[in-house]
Structure formats: structure tokens, C-alpha cells
Structure 1
Amino acid sequence: MTSTIEVSGTVADGFEAVREEFAAVVAGERGPTGAQLAVEVHGRRVVDLWAGEEITGDTLTGLYSVTKGAATLVVALLVQEGALELDRPVADHWPEFAAAGKAGITLRDVLTHRSGVIGVDGGLSADELADDRMIARRLAGQRPYWRPGTAYGYGGFVVFALVGEVVRRATGRSLQEHFEERIRAPYGLAVHLGLPEEQEDRYRPILPGLASEEEQAAFWAAVPGPHSLTGIGYGLNSTPPLDQVAFLNTRRVRALGQASAGAVGSARGLAALYSAAVFGRDGHAPLLGTDTVGEFAMPHSTGRDLVVGEAGQYALGFQAKGLRYPFLSATAFGHNGSAGAESFADPRSGVAFAYTRRRFSFNWSYPEHDRLAAAVHRAVTTA
């Protein structure tokens, strides 16, 4: 079933086909929804589109694991400045973390999902998962779920609580404070790790995925058990299991800006974020130098993911987008999110890409990412 949804916004000359592809994507959505698409090329916005009820280019919505990309930019800045060392054990900053066989785990292990610390026995409640400090306290005594460094597995809701605790102990400031002061505020970015109360009227809640009874039955029949590695990695081993849709629709989560999955923002904000990081923007030099980009964009964890069950293709904190989209360069990097947002930068082409959507896919499948990223690539390479 398709719907007619008006597409608003603008595209630069040569990007008309991107608008057509975006219109086709939103027209094919099941039920009322909303989406945004923004693209910058070497810091110049060339695509700025949105569609759906109550959606404008300024609308903010839940970004889920896109948050990890924003948080990793903080780490990259601190590594670039010498305030953090990637191969230094976490326990050097945080002695309590050495418990239960974790003394040798480094910051690099955590950022590349190789630490084995993806949750806690018995699970974390939704209230606990809102607060990075609480997550860190619970994880400090937890034994890893596999021998650190021998494999990798995605820790969807907890991994950047570990990173944040290292940042706080090494610098005396929270990861969220660094992001606000060093990245968001100077550029006026519409991406928040901690949404101020006065910005709440711009937030639009995430909507649950829609599916037929047959689709629902097939999906739930294949869902791994709550105490499997997949269940632990996605917070399903708590009682009750984590409701991902409700997570960012909770004011406390948005206010605290949980660093693994608690950011809110717009496509405009995300595209500008990646432009500022790699290409510079508004007369500012890039946040990251070439060597830092090369280090953080380099694939670190490839092959089978113990949690996701497929090739996760992780760089350092980011996802290795050159492996996800073969038409991009080998150094493309970014992060997607479980509500369907996608964001990345391609240092070679100058592209900063960002897409947001309000409605979960029922089965976490987002084929429009491939369509939109390919349409942008074609427009850039033929311009």
C-alpha cells in the first residue's frame, strides 16, 4: 500500500534525482510517517528535504545509535589532543573496571565492540539505561560475555557508557559536556546529547513499526532468546524487556543524552555535524585532522558479529561505511540507528549524508538507505 505524501525542501542543480528517490521512499511507507534527508558536499548543503505529518526541516526526532557517531567525534578530538590514549587500559582511569577479568581491556577494545561487555546479568531497566553513570556502575563488576579481544559483538545500549566514564575520569568533564561545548554549540548544530527543556516542542515521538499478523508471527518466531548474546546486547534480558520505541520517547532519556543511543536531532544537524568534523564549515577548519580521520575510519572489527549475527563492519567507534556501501570510498565512516536514521561522511567525495525517520521498521530493515545513498553518490559523481 502506498500513500501520497508531499515532499518539501530544496535540492541544488544536479540533485533532482535525489528528490525523486526520496519522494518514492516516503510514498512507499506503510502508514503515516515522517522523514528528512540532508546532504552537504564540502560543507555546502545540496539536499534539504522532508516529508510527513508534523515534520519540517527543523524537526528533531530520536536518533538511537546514530548517537555513537556523535559521541565518537568527542573521543576522536580528545585522542587528537592527547587527552586520551586508545591502547591504554580502561582500568588505568577507572580502577573498579578491572574486576572480573577486565583489567586488560583498552579503550580501543571498547570502541570496536571487542570488550565482551555488552550488558549485565539480569539486565538493566529502562530507567537505568537512561543514565550513563548508572550503566557504568553496573558494568564495572560484570564479567565479559566472551574473552576480550577474541571476537566482537555489538553492545547497542551500553558501550558508550564505558567510553563516557573514561572521558569523565580522564578530563573531569562528561562526554555530553564536551560535545555541547566543543562541537554542538560552536556550530549551532541540531543534534543534542541532552535536549534542553526549551527545545522539547521541536521533538516528534518515534512511532512503532507496522506489520501484518503473518509478518509479526514470523518475526517473533525468529527472535533470539532474551538471555542470548543478541538479547543481552539489545537489552532484552531485563524484566520487562526494553521497549526500544518508548526509549527515546521518555523525557528523562532525552534530557540526559545517553551516549550510546540517547541523542535527538535532525538530518540537517547530522549532515552539518559530519561536514564540520571532516571538511570544515562556516569558515571553520575541520574538527579532525587527516591522521585522526584515517585512524578512526579504519575497519577494525569485520566478519561475524556475535550479537547481530552478520558482518557488522566496524571502524573505531564508527561503522565502516565503505564496507556497507561499496560505491563509497574505503575511508567513509558514520553510524546508523535502530529507528532507521543513517549518517556518514565520505572524505574522498566530500559528502556528508544524513537521513532520519520517525517510524521503526518492524524487523529493523531499512532498504531505503541503499537507495538514497546510491542516488546521492550518482548525483555527486555526475555533477
Structure 2
Amino acid sequence: MTIDGTCAPEFTAVREAFERNFTEYGEVGAAVHATVDGQSVVDLWGGLQDPATGTPWQRDTLVHIWSGTKGAVALCAHLLVARGKLDLTLPVAHYWPEFAAEGKGGILVRQLLNHQAGLPALSEPLPPGAFYDWDLMVDALARQRPWWEPGTRHGYHGLTFGFLVGEVVRRVAGVPLGEFFRTEIAEPLGLDFWLGLPGSEEHRVAHTIPADLTVPGAPVPNLFIAAMTDPASIAGQLLLNNGGYMNPGEADTRAAHAAVIGATGGITNARGLSGLYTPLANGGGGLVDEFQLAAMGAVSSAASVDAVVLVPSRFTLGFVKAVDNSHLPIADAEGILLSEEAFGHSGFGGSIGFADPRARLSFAYTMSRQGPGIGINERCQALVDATYAALGYRRPPSGGLWVHP
């Protein structure tokens, strides 16, 4: 399998790990990108964009990054904070009055960002294509009663985060989320990163290859088990009541790519995703100051059992923190092993983008073939591990997170 791109000599182990992903771990098409001190040190891509036709993965091939999108939306909110237009300690209803319905008047903006709001799913049945109708979704969320008392616990708002935070961004900025991201972040940073993909770019997208959970012995995440066991549960409503968005193949349709779905709909590649985090790896890059950057990377909510995904999770104000789930049964063993200083967001199937301000590192891995879990799998972790090792970081003999030398 041909690997293209560049890699600094001290990061040769990253290239070797990337090659092994194809020869040993069934990678189909993927890219990995990293910067240190704002300079590209790894920019690799390889495999096939379209296995059916044999079309190779190109330098500008795009892919659906699923929940990696949340990092982009969180940055939109933090940019408004930096400009003095958004206060995370105020109630959401201060900016979005209709949101106060069903006892939600006290929910703070920060509780949308750290997954404490109690709105991870909708109990109101959604019509087909609901995720492609912004007003329908935000109105339904405004009517929704929280699944738990806000602030008392946290649970991953896997499909609703983007509508919730994105509507606050829209109310404050006065323009739709996709437009704000494009004009205020993607274009100024030169990112090939889309919330709402134009039709002219559709030909560059590699479609998702789902993990096959029907293979005997394949690990099935607790979230999926809970949804199938009790469709009326939070997990069930999240995975089964989304207007068909989670149906096989639906997220690869033109309608899905064109829509602005701020929790899961981002389209980019490793270079674009790493570029999103490059300013945050280097003191804020003029987007936010050092004090706000520290708040963006600090744990804001954590629990040994996330109320939605049913495994340990940790969140900052909009981003994921590293978590070691290696002690759990195989179905949920896919954690996210970074350093304690790192923050970013993983994507369904195993992609990730993150910043590590102490290492002055930004990193991203994107791919078409998904792994079965909800964290990052062996392909992504191997690339992360090789990158940290090249920077002189180490992991304790007993395992766990990467430690600064």
C-alpha cells in the first residue's frame, strides 16, 4: 500500500506505525498529521479513497469525522467568550429564551459544553431527516425535559451537542453555526474543514466503512447493548430516535454532508483537523488568551460511569480529556491515552484531533474504516504513542497516560 506525504526524521516511528496499520490492522484509507511549535512534522496519507474503484487516497481526500466535529463547535463558543460576547456562567435561556421550557431555565451555558445539561437525546419522536432541519431540532430540544437534574451528573450528548451549543452560537453571533465557523475559524486558519459541505467538494469524500459488529466475538460497546436492550432508555432514544441519521449509510448521503450537524457532521482530513488545534497547542494563537486556554483544557466534568455511554469519561468545556479504560471488559477497553495536558475530541470509529499545549503539539488521525468502539482503537493509539515517544514522553510501566519527560 502506497504511503505519501512527509515525515520529519525524528518522527520516523510514526510513519512506521502508519504503514503497519495497513499491513497488519486492516486500514483501508487514512491520514495522520502533527505539528510541533506550529510546524508540520508529520503529514502522511495512504490507501484507497474508494475501494470499489481503486481510487487512491489523495492529499486532499476528505472524510466524515463524526464527533471530532464537537471540537470545532466548542471552539466557536470559546471564540465568542474571548470576544466578550458569551458568558458561560449565564443561563442558556439568557441567550435562547425558549430553552427555559420544561424546567430548563437554570441550565448554564457551561453545562451544555461539559455534558451536564441532561439533554443527550429526545423523547419526542423525530421525523425522517430531522437532523437536516436546524429549526426543527432546536425547537424540539427547547421542549425537551431533562433526563436528569442538570448539574448533578454528566452523560455524553453525542448527537445533540451541536444543536445545543450551535444554537447558542447562532443567537449570540447572529449568523448560523456553519457560517460562523467558516468565516471566523476555517477561512482565517486556512482549514479544509466543513460544517455543511458544498456540493462542489463532494467528490473528495471517502465514505465511512462501518465496523462489523456481527462478527462472532466482536466487541459491542455498552451504549449499543443498552440501546438494544431498552429502546426507551437514553441510549435507545439516542441511537434509535434521530430521524434515521444513524441508519447504515445515511450519514454518507449528500443530504447529510450538506447539513450543518455540529455534533457529528464535520467533513475534513487530518491536516484540517490538526490545523484546528494548532493555535491551541501554541498559546491560543490569537484566538484565546492563556487564561481561557487553561480553562478550555481543564476537566469540568468526570465520572466513573458516564450516564449515556456507561463507561468512564472526562470532559472539559467542550472537549474530551484522556481516559484509561484498559481495566474494563474488552467491549469498552478503548480509552484515549494522551497526556494529562492534552484536550481535543475523538470521533466515532477511532479518529481523533487534539492539542497538547505543554508539548506544543497538535495531532489528528482520520480514516474511513471504523473500529468497533467509542474511544480510539489500536490504529489511532499506535500513532499517538509513536508521536509522544518521539517527543521524549514516556508511559509508566503499569500503563496509563503519557508523562512529560
Pairwise same-fold verdict (TM > 0.5): yes
Q: Which amino acid aligns with 1:357?
A: M
The reply on whether 1:201 has 2:207 as its aligned counterpart is no
Residue 216 of structure 1 deviates from its aligned partner by 5.9
Deviations 1:141-164 (A, max 9, x none): 110001111000111111221111
SS at match of 1:381: coil
> Is the 8 Å Cα contact of residues 337 and 381 (structure 2) preserved in structure 1?
no
Larger deviation, residues 316-325 vs 100-109? 316-325
Is residue 132–residue 259 contact of structure 1 (8 Å, CA) maintained in 2? no
| Match for residue 97 of structure 1 among 76, 96, 99 | 99
Given that residues 126 and 242 in structure 1 are in contact (C-alpha distance below 8 angstroms), is that contact kept between their aligned partners in structure 2? no
C-alpha deviation, 1:33, in angstroms: 1.7
Is the Cα contact below 8 Å between 2:130 and 2:243 reproduced in 1? no
Amino acid of the structure 1 residue aligned with 2:95: H
Q: TM-score, normalised by structure 1?
A: 0.90
SS at match of 1:14: helix
Partner of 2:255 in structure 1?
A: 252
Percent identity (aligned): 35
Contact 2:219 2:373 in 1 (8 A): no
Conserved 8 A contact 2:34-2:363: yes
Corresponding residue of 1:136 = 138
| Aligned counterpart, 1:37 | 32
Is the 1:313–1:320 Cα contact (8 Å) retained in structure 2? Answer: yes
Alpha-carbon offset, residue 39 of structure 1? 0.6
Q: Counterparts of 2:60 and 2:263 in 1: how far apart (Å)?
A: 23
Compare 248-257 and 59-68 and name the one that shifted more: 248-257
| Counterpart Cα distance in 1 of 2:107 and 2:374 | 31
Equivalent in the alignment of 2:46: 51
Deviations 1:54-77 (A, max 9, x none): 312211010110000011111111
Deviation at 1:253, TM superposition (A): 2.1
* 2:14 aligned counterpart, secondary structure: helix
Measure, in 2, the Cα distance between the counterparts of 1:97 and 1:41. 42
Deviation per residue, 1:169-225 (Å, 9 max, x gap) = 222112221111111112221111111121112111111223564236977994533
- Equivalent residue letter for 1:248: A
Give 1:27's aligned residue: 23
CA distance in 1, matches of 2:322, 2:374: 18
* CA distance 1:27–1:133, change in 2 (3 Å): farther
Show the counterpart of 1:370: 381
Assess, with a 3 A threshold, how the Cα gap between structure 1 residues 91 and 211 changes in structure 2: closer, same or farther.
closer
**Structure 2: gaps of 5 or more residues:** 50-56, 325-334, 394-404
1:348 to 352, 358, 368: 358
Greater shift in the superposed pair: 123-132 or 333-342: 123-132
Tell me the equivalent position of 1:338: 348
| Closer/same/farther in 2, CA of residues 367 and 124 from structure 1, 3 Å limit | farther
Q: Write out per-residue CA displacement over residues 355-375 of structure 1, whole angstroms, 9 at most, x where no aligned residue.
A: 001012234462223221111
The 2-side partners of 1:351 and 1:179 are apart by 22
CA contact (8 A) 2:92 2:99 kept: yes
Deviation at 1:239, TM superposition (A): 7.2
